[in-house]
Amino acid sequence: MKPTALFLLTLLLPATALCQEAQVVATITGVERLVQVQRAGTITWENATLGTSLRPGDRIRTGKRSGVEFTFRDGSPARLAEAGLVVIDASRRVRLETSLLWGDFQAAGHIEAGDLQVDIQRGRFLIGEEEGADPRGRVQLFQGAATGRRGGAAFPLYPNPRAERFAGGTAQPFFHRFPTGLNSAGLPGSRLHEAARLNSDRILGDTLFRQDEQTLIGAQAEPETLILLDPLRPPDKPTLRAPSRAPQQQGYFAPRFDGNLIGYKSNHGGFVGARLREYGVYGGHFWEAAVTPSSVFDGDWSLELSELNVTLHDERFGDVTIGRQRYLHGPVQNTVVGTLMRQGGRDVQDGVTWQPALTDPRLGVVASYLIDAFPASLPGGVSGRQTGWYLRGAYQTDTGILGLSATENILAPRVGMTADFTIPAIRNRLDVYGELGKDTFGRDVRTLGTYFPELYEKYDLDVFLEYTDAGDFGFTYSDEMLLRAYRPLGKTRYGVVAVDKRSGQTPTYGVGLVLQIGQ
């Protein structure tokens, strides 16, 4: 190579590197589960990781129970919810094609969603696009100043901080405490799964019906996620609306009602019931009230009240739940003999529970004072108040989840303690989980299970397969195999198939249906 050419090449290489660096408009700063990037001018998708650079024309997509955070060079973060697709046009200029996008822009930006265009001067917002032949965008401004434009007509957007408090109560796990860098968000036992088990969008409850004093059958339906919950409407449709006038600053905001009608039938009996929920914002706090009555039929009819509580959410203090509530923390589905807080241990109790808001998104803590560990109105209940306590800590990392639980009540002779875990054995295809320890009566708790996330990603099908060693309980069976499969059946119906095989007994199998009602 001639000296002159070599000299020119030496000058050009740094300039080329600077040009490429200048094209970078954002960097991925948070990944939950399945996130992919398609580079401008290409047709292939590559898995995204922390630190992935984004340039104009790049596209980002998220899988189910997934999410991504990307931060522009000026420090403005944006978060794309599950099953989403967004195109990066330039710094703080993006096109949302599906799902919801939350942002906190530090300077002027431009967002497009369907037929809606939003010019944001500065502030926090949530924007979404409805599916359909004629996509329509919706936006809610939480703080700052912005102008919307649809069909050539411009309209002002008024900030509504009360709507953000509403979203903080419902969509909090994703939009407000995003666990940066974790791929374990969709694992059984994660905060996302635990919250989903109590979400009325697709609940079939751990409502147990009585077969005899020691043999109970339950079904639990998992909703898709809390990520898509919308600050102005209940789950199912990400439909956001812009207010036509400045909102009031006091009193209630967006009180909402929804619920589910529940039915389950097996070859040994069944139950019918409902879960009703009212929620909204008053002052600076999100509140929620839930009630779940059910009737059990197994030759005779009996009425049970397995849930009656009020929850108050505060961004700094955390969540406080008062009343009859379900203790469904951890990955295990078998709430009869497979977990510490089970029937007789138990999964439904009267108490006051605090889940503090922690600065470390990997850590979760639950502390509960048990007013009555064995409510007399439920099977296996005991008259009088059986006071006690329950503590749980969980640590969520990129390689899995580890949880420790302990409980005690005045009826039991000792403190019960268990450890539970979830490991992605084959990432996004096979998760392995379990719970091991001793209950409050000194009996072994030993459960191992598998979950298949790929079935949910492809077919909306949640499948759990568990084995529980029940030999220490003195029952007529020594172990149990359990299968639970959950799937949406349209936008307002959800189904479950349950199979239980206990050693020395014929299999128990059943089907359940949940119908969503209300808003």
Range of the domain at 373: 191-518
Please state, rounded to an integer, the average pLDDT across all residues of the chain.
76
**Two structure tokens written together for 281:** 């914002």
Q: Please check whether residue 36 lies inside any domain of the structure.
A: yes
Query: 206 and 155, same structural domain?
Result: no
In a domain, 11, yes or no: no
> 113, 137, 159 — which closes off a domain?
159
Q: Which residues of 399-413 are buried (b: 16+ CB within 10 A; e: fewer)?
A: ebbbbebbbbbeebe
What mean pLDDT comes out for the span 103-110? 90
| CATH at residue 76 | 2.60.120.1440
Q: Which residue has the higher pLDDT, 13 or 187?
A: 187
In this structure, the answer to whether residues 152 and 254 fall within a common structural domain is no
For the stretch 429-453, what's the b/e string if a residue is b when 16 or more beta carbons lie within 10 angstroms of its beta carbon?
eebbbbbebbbbeebebbbbbbbbb
User: Does residue 375 share a domain with residue 256?
Assistant: yes
Cis peptide before 241 (omega within 30 of 0): no
Q: Would residue 166 count as lying in a domain?
A: no
| Tokens (6 digits) for 69 | 């955070």
* Look-up of token digits 């265009």: 117
Confidence of residue 192 (pLDDT cuts 50, 70, 90): low
Among candidate residues 87, 168, 165, 169, the one with its CA nearest the CA of residue 129? 87
Q: Which secondary structure element, helix H or strand E, spans residue 322, and what is its range?
A: strand 318-326
**Domain shared by 145 and 293, yes or no:** no
Neighbouring residues of 142: CB distance < 8 A, sequence distance ≥ 6: 123, 124, 125, 126, 159, 160, 161, 163, 164, 167
Among 105-114, 158-167, 226-235, the range of highest mean pLDDT: 105-114
One domain for residues 143 and 206: no
pLDDT at 402 over 70: yes
> Out of 79-88, 177-186, 375-384, 447-456, which region has the weakest mean confidence (pLDDT)?
177-186
Q: How does residue 72 score in pLDDT terms, banded at 50, 70 and 90?
A: very high
Judge whether residue 406 has pLDDT over 90. yes
Confidence of residue 140 (pLDDT cuts 50, 70, 90): confident
Name the least confident of 146-150, 296-300, 443-447.
296-300
Measured between alpha carbons, how far is 65 from 73 in angstroms, rounded to an integer? 27
Residue of higher predicted confidence among 17 and 286: 286
Question: Do residues 396 and 502 share a domain?
Answer: yes
Q: Where is the domain boundary, 111, 135, 159?
A: 159
Highest mean pLDDT among 122-136, 218-232, 270-284: 270-284
Question: Of the given ranges (88-92, 135-139, 219-223), which has the lowest mean pLDDT?
Answer: 219-223
Query: How far apart are the C-alpha atoms of 279 and 255, rounded to whole Å?
Result: 6
Interior angle at CA 322, CA 319 and CA 326, nearest 5? 85
Closest CA to 198 of 270, 261, 280, 277: 277
Q: What is the pLDDT of residue 437?
A: 94
Task: Say if residue 369 is in the same domain as residue 454.
Answer: yes
Residue 199 pLDDT > 70, yes or no? no
Does the global pTM surpass 0.85?
no
Task: For 429-476, write each residue's pLDDT tens digit.
Answer: 899 999 999 988 888 899 999 999 889 888 988 899 999 998 777 777
Specify the range with the lowest mean pLDDT, choosing from 11-25, 92-106, 426-440: 11-25
- Whether 374 and 484 map to the same domain: the answer is yes
Specify which of 74-78, 204-208, 299-303 reaches the highest per-range mean pLDDT: 74-78
Residue 182 · residue 362 · CB < 8 Å: yes
Which residues face 137 on adjacent strands?
129
In this prediction, residues 121-147 reach a mean pLDDT of 77
- Same domain, yes or no: 327 and 371: yes
Q: Which of 159, 176, 206 is the last residue of a domain?
A: 159
| Segment 155-177, tens digit of pLDDT | 888 887 666 655 544 444 444 44
208 vs 153: CA distance, rounded Å: 55
In a domain, residue 19? The reply is no
Residue 481 has pLDDT above 60, yes or no: yes
Residue 119's DSSP bridge partners are: 110, 147
Asked if residue 26 lies in contact with residue 71, where contact means CB atoms within 8 angstroms, the answer is: yes
- Summarize the confidence of residues 389-414 as an average pLDDT: 90
Identify the residue whose tokens are 């050693």.
Answer: 503
| Residues 6+ positions from 307 with CB-CB distance below 8 Å | 205, 275, 290, 291, 292, 324, 325, 326, 348
Residue 171 covered by a domain: no
Residue 206 and residue 154 share a domain? no
Give tens-digit pLDDT for 304-361: 788 888 888 877 888 899 999 888 888 888 877 888 987 555 678 899 999 998 877 7
Which residue in this structure is represented by tokens 């001793």?
Answer: 438
Mean pLDDT of 215-225: 25
d(CA 283, CA 462): 38
Q: Is residue 169 part of a domain?
A: no
What DSSP assignment string belongs to 63-125? -TT-EEEEEETTS-EEEE-TT-EEEEEETTEEEEEEEEEEEEESS-EEEEETTEEEEEEEEEE
Domain co-membership, 209 together with 127: no
Residues in the chain: 519
Tell me whether residue 280 is in a domain. Answer: yes
Is 221 part of any domain? yes
Q: What is the pLDDT of residues 55-69, one digit of tens each?
A: 999 999 988 878 888
Task: Indicate whether 90 pLDDT > 50.
Answer: yes
d(CA 18, CA 248): 50
d(CA 395, CA 404): 9
Which tokens sit at 382? 């005991």
Residue 30, CB half-sphere, CA atoms under 13 Å: how many?
Answer: 23
Q: Is the dihedral of CA 109, 113, 118, 124 positive or negative?
A: negative
Going by pLDDT thresholds of 50, 70 and 90, the confidence category of residue 203 is very low
Question: What CATH number corresponds to the domain at position 334?
Answer: 2.40.160.10
Rounded CA separation 96/370 (Å): 46
Domain identity same for 448 and 501: yes
- Give the chain's domain count: 2
Secondary element (H or E) of residue 35: strand 35-38
H or E element: which one contains 127?
A: strand 116-129
Backbone Cα Rg of the chain: 25
Contact 144, 109 (CB under 8 A): no
Instruction: For residue 187, give the nearest of 328, 29, 32 by alpha carbon.
Output: 32
Query: Residue 149: its pLDDT value, please?
Result: 87
Task: Tell whether the model's pLDDT for residue 264 goes beyond 50.
Answer: yes
Say whether 44 sits in a helix, a strand or coil: coil
Write out 161-193 in H/E/C secondary structure: HHHHHHHHHHCHHHHCCCCCCCCCCCCCCCHHH
